Amino acid sequence: MKFSNFLFPQAADPADDERVIDETMAEAKLCDELGVDTVWLAEHHFDGNCAYVDPVSFAAAIAAATTNVKIGFAVAQMSLHHPIRMAEQMSMIDNLSKGRLIVGLGRGTAYNIYDYLGFDIDPDEAYERLLEAEEIMVKAWTTEDYEHKGKYWNLWLPALRPKVFTKPHPFMIRACSGEESMLGQAKEGKPFLMNVQSVDVIRDRMDAYRATMRNSGFDERRVQQCVDQSWIWKNIFVAESDAEAEKIGVPLFEAQRDHRMSMRKQVYEARGLTLDKSMETGAAPKAAARNVTHHSLLCGSPATVAEQVAEIDAVGVGGLILQFRLGPASHEVTENSIRLFMEKVAPEFAIKKAA
């Protein structure tokens, strides 16, 4: 199992933007120093949920400031980007990082209507835009004298520059928030990124993913390769003791969750607009796993967190996308959590793998 850090830093007050961005860069450098496999970048606009906002420019900065850690998007909201511009930017970062780039794409956030409003994009077009954009980017990287005529873009270009460093093109992966989209990736023999889910749901989805790949004609080698390339998101807080982790980590996670929900509620109350249909109908759906502490948060001493990670490892997943910085957590608290994990938890799984 691979371990990574989801750099998803909250800056509730705009006055904190500069400081939090600087601290997030320091966090990326620390991960490079400690041997973290990947740092992942988010894309959220207008609400302070992700201080650096733009993962593309921030990825370029990280590429120039680090040596070994891979840099992935979890995810770039493809409906907000022009695919040729995005292909050029990814090629540049691929060159800067010497092949350390993971191009993680998604249709766009399923929760923040204001992301679409701010870019004048119809959210109902987002998934189709994602599919067309993925095709364009791959062809642009690999085809000269490329012409495309589609629903959203009609394009021609002689050759995309700079040429990609990774041949034939940077590794691409798609986020799948629901089981249906995940199984679509399985049918095509492609890995995926899974959002926060309970261990039971992770187990059920991974079983379904493997079964669907086998039923689609892929052999066991290819099934295992795709599993190894797939990632699961969890929040995490590691402290010296379970009591300390519970006292500090749980309130930080709850503050993060509440802040993320508050802007969506404000926009709905002010404009009557939302992507969450339950708010419009007054329905009370089952709480999403991302909002339920014991489903979303790995929390405790190194020994306790190792047990929690082992439970997920037993399901069989390629890697964990671990969000260490929770809501208003300070850089110092976050750094301590990262160090404890990498020095006392991660080595246990390296030993297991070697055995």
- The whole-number pLDDT of residue 284 equals 47
* Confidence check: pLDDT of 21 > 80: yes
* Confidence check: pLDDT of 277 > 70: no
- Mean pLDDT, residues 252-270: 87
Contact criterion met (CB below 8 Å) for 170 and 90: yes
Angle between helix 126-142 and 83-97 (nearest 10): 50
Give the number of other Cβ atoms within 10 Å of residue 229's Cβ. Answer: 17
- The whole-number pLDDT of residue 262 equals 85
Number of domains, the chain = 1
- Mean pLDDT, residues 167-196: 96
- The whole-number pLDDT of residue 278 equals 55
* Confidence check: pLDDT of 282 > 60: no
User: How does residue 273 score in pLDDT terms, banded at 50, 70 and 90?
Assistant: confident
pTM of the model: 0.95
* Confidence check: pLDDT of 84 > 80: yes
- Mean pLDDT, residues 250-265: 91
- The whole-number pLDDT of residue 172 equals 98
H helices present in the chain, as ranges:
17-34, 55-65, 83-97, 113-119, 126-142, 179-187, 199-215, 220-228, 242-271, 277-281, 293-296, 302-315, 331-340, 346-354
| CATH value at residue 175 | 3.20.20.30
Q: Which of 198-207, 252-261, 275-284 bottoms out in mean pLDDT, i.e. has the lowest?
A: 275-284
Domain of 224 in residue numbering reads as 2-354
* Confidence check: pLDDT of 328 > 70: yes
- Mean pLDDT, residues 244-273: 89
* Confidence check: pLDDT of 283 > 80: no
Q: Which of 40-49, 287-296, 309-318 bottoms out in mean pLDDT, i.e. has the lowest?
A: 287-296
Give the number of other Cβ atoms within 10 Å of residue 167's Cβ. Answer: 10
- Mean pLDDT, residues 169-175: 97
From residue 72, give the alpha-carbon distance in Å to each of 105, 171, 194, 254: 10, 10, 14, 26
Q: Which of 10-14, 171-175, 256-260, 278-282 bottoms out in mean pLDDT, i.e. has the lowest?
A: 278-282
- The whole-number pLDDT of residue 104 equals 98
* Confidence check: pLDDT of 300 > 60: yes
